[in-house]
């Protein structure tokens, strides 16, 4: 019914393509030539003018005039001649102004508060500023919050805050970095050459190192709770040159009578104990101490001062009122029973200075003389000492209350500053005859104590003071307190050479 059929192909030629091919045209365009012209100008005439003031006729007393023209002058000169000659002879023999250099520039004698830094959360919880530290560039200040007036064991959480004072939009009420810690901070210290790294000691005895340049976990290393760790509060941390060039290790000191040196293990994020020192009464040198402390198996360490002149020497202030000269290289084994430490503890004590009536809160070496240091404590006095003598060269009344911190000026050899239990900053100039403060800074803290003080290492006219009300005041000091005068180092040398009875 149906069959396949094959038909021939049929093609149809496109008339549309031919029609468009016939209508194609080519077009082009050209802008008109751009005409340029160059012109110059030149001044034709030059005129120069000048002015000259007329000679001013001055009327002066001529020495050629006859003295008889001035009645009474001859009698006056004859009357005062002997007195004037005596004074001229006396002045020619005087050395009162030897070395004096006139400073014709105006000096600013005022002391002003540049910033009052506060952490709102810490203030609401009643935390105090227990420690301050400047970084090596002098731009960042770190503040530790905790409690100094709480004698009981504390598990209260605290914090570390930093402010960059070079920031344009600095907010004194909002820190740049806030680090929470499990127990109160007792001490802080920035790394000598790495501006973002700083170490801290906790009330629990733990030591931590932070790096604020990190974006996540800021803890660079920590001791943890091991047999090597302090069992009591850590009152001071410092950075000490290590065995290798450019290396620094962390020094920590606590009331448990231990000074420990830690190396940073970056891979494990922990501090490893490299060496340690123990302070026991039976090994204390008898050079200046009246008697050994009784009723205690250790000498509680409250402060440490590193000598800028001798890397092997350091000073230790104690709870019993003793200041001890010590050596890192001591090989004497400490008379303490082993308590699981990974290193053998040594006895570093070499010399004991005359005891004080209460705990030593702060000790600091002079940056201008290798033998001088100053110490303060609960007796309200600042004692100027030479490391070569057991008794103080000078004792100065700073306060009727406690004195918590003392620091030498980094620019004035004869000036040091101390903070008191009334919140005052007292600055003394040893070059003055009076032992009264050359400047007293009232911080308006309502009589609450000031616990710590540090001079800026770069901007030496800046000083940070941490207070019990939770604030940190940044003070700008006057030129009188920061500019070194003539013969200051000579006077300091003279003080150091004095011999006590």
Mean pLDDT of 255-269: 90
Phi, psi of 74 (to 5 degrees): -65, -45
- pLDDT of 456 > 90? The answer is yes
Computed on alpha carbons and rounded to an integer, the radius of gyration of the chain in Å comes to 38
Model confidence band, residue 290 (pLDDT cutoffs 50, 70, 90): very low
Both tokens assigned to 234? 């850590």
- Indicate the burial class of 74 (C-beta count within 10 angstroms; 0-12, 13-18, 19 or more): exposed
What does each C-alpha distance from 220 to 182, 214, 268, 380 come to in angstroms?
Answer: 16, 9, 9, 39
Residue carrying structure tokens 């629990």: 204
Long-range contacts of residues 79-82, Cβ cutoff 8 Å, at least 24 apart: none
pLDDT digits (tens, 9 = 90+) for 297-310: 789 999 999 999 99
> Mean pLDDT score of the chain, rounded to an integer?
86
Q: What confidence score (pLDDT) does residue 58 get? A: 44
Sheet strands (E) in 378-499: 381-386, 394-397, 403-408, 415-420, 424-429, 439-442, 450-455, 462-467, 471-476
Q: What mean pLDDT is predicted for residues 281-309?
A: 77
CA distance 146 to 150: 9
DSSP bridge partners of 112:
476
- Residue 70's pLDDT band, with cuts at 50, 70 and 90, is confident
Q: What is the distance of C-alpha 33 from the center of its chain?
A: 73
pLDDT band at 57; cut points 50, 70, 90: very low
For residues 184 and 156, the answer to whether their CB atoms sit within 8 Å is: yes
The answer to whether 350 touches 388, Cβ cutoff 8 Å, is no
The CATH class that applies to domain 112-496 reads mainly beta
Task: Give the least confident one: 57-61, 75-79, 117-121, 159-163.
Answer: 57-61
Query: How far is the C-alpha of 385 from the C-alpha of 374, rounded, in Å?
Result: 6
Summarize pLDDT for 12-43 with one digit per residue, the tens.
666 656 665 555 566 666 777 777 777 776 65
Name the band, by pLDDT with cuts 50, 70 and 90, for residue 109.
low
Residues 6+ away with beta carbon under 8 Å from 19: none
d(CA 426, CA 413): 16
Containing H/E element for 386? strand 381-386
**3-state helix/strand/coil string of 352-412:** ECCCCCCCEEEEEECCCCCCEEEEEECCCEEEEEECCCCCCCEEEECCCCCEEEEEECCCC
Residue 428 pairs with which residues in a beta bridge?
416
User: In angstroms, what CA-CA distances link 51 with 48, 54, 56, 379?
Assistant: 11, 10, 15, 75
The neighbouring-strand residues paired with 129 are 145
Give the start-to-end residue ranges of the domains of the chain: 112-496
Do residues 492 and 372 make contact, with C-beta atoms less than 8 angstroms apart? yes
Whether 61 shows a pLDDT value over 70: the answer reads no
Q: Do residues 225 and 190 lie in contact, with contact meaning Cβ atoms separated by under 8 Å?
A: no
Given the structure tokens 């001044």, which residue do they identify?
A: 43
């Amino acid at each position: 019914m149906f069959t396949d059929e094959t038909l021939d192909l049929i093609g149809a030629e496109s008339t549309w393509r031919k029609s468009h091919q016939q209508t194609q045209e080519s077009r082009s365009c050209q802008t008109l030539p751009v005409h340029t012209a160059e012109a110059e100008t030149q001044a034709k005439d030059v005129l120069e003018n000048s002015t000259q003031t007329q000679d001013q006729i001055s009327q002066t007393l001529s020495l050629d005039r006859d003295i008889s023209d001035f009645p009474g002058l001859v009698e006056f000169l004859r009357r005062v001649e002997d007195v004037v000659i005596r004074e001229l002879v006396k002045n020619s023999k005087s050395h009162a102004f030897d070395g004096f250099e006139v400073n014709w520039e105006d000096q600013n004698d005022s002391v002003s508060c540049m910033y009052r830094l506060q952490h709102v959360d810490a203030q609401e919880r009643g935390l105090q500023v227990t420690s301050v530290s400047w970084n090596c560039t002098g731009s960042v200040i770190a503040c530790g919050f905790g409690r100094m007036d709480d004698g009981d064991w504390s598990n209260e959480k605290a914090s570390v805050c930093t402010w960059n004072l070079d920031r344009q939009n600095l907010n004194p009420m909002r820190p740049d970095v806030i680090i929470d810690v499990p127990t109160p901070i007792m001490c802080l210290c920035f790394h000598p050459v790495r501006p973002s790294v700083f170490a801290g000691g906790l009330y629990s005895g733990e030591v931590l190192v932070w790096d604020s340049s990190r974006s996540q976990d800021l803890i660079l290393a920590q001791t943890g709770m091991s047999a090597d760790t302090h069992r009591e509060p850590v009152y001071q941390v410092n950075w000490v040159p290590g065995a290798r060039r450019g290396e620094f290790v962390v020094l920590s000191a606590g009331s448990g009578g231990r000074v420990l040196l830690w190396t940073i293990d970056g891979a494990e994020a922990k501090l490893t104990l490299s060496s340690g020192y123990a302070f026991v009464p039976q090994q204390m040198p008898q050079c200046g101490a009246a008697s050994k402390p009784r009723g205690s198996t250790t000498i509680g360490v409250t402060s440490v001062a590193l000598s800028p002149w001798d890397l092997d020497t350091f000073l230790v202030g104690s709870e019993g009122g003793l200041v001890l000269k010590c050596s890192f290289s001591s090989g004497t084994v400490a008379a303490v029973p082993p308590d699981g430490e990974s290193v053998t503890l040594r006895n570093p004590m070499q010399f004991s200075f005359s005891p004080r009536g209460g705990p030593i809160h702060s000790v600091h070496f002079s940056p201008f003389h290798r033998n001088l240091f100053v110490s303060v404590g609960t007796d309200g006095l600042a004692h100027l000492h030479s490391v070569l003598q057991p008794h103080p060269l000078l004792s100065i009344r700073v306060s009727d209350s406690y004195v918590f911190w003392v620091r030498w000026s980094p620019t004035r050899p004869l000036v040091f500053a101390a903070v008191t239990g009334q919140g005052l900053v007292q600055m003394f100039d040893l070059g003055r005859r009076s032992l009264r403060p050359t400047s007293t800074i009232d911080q308006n803290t309502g009589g609450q104590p000031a616990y710590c003080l540090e001079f800026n290492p770069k901007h030496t006219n800046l000083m940070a003071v941490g207070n019990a009300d939770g604030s940190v005041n940044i003070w700008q000091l006057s030129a009188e307190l920061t500019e070194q005068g003539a013969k200051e180092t000579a006077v300091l040398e003279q003080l150091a050479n004095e011999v006590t009875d």
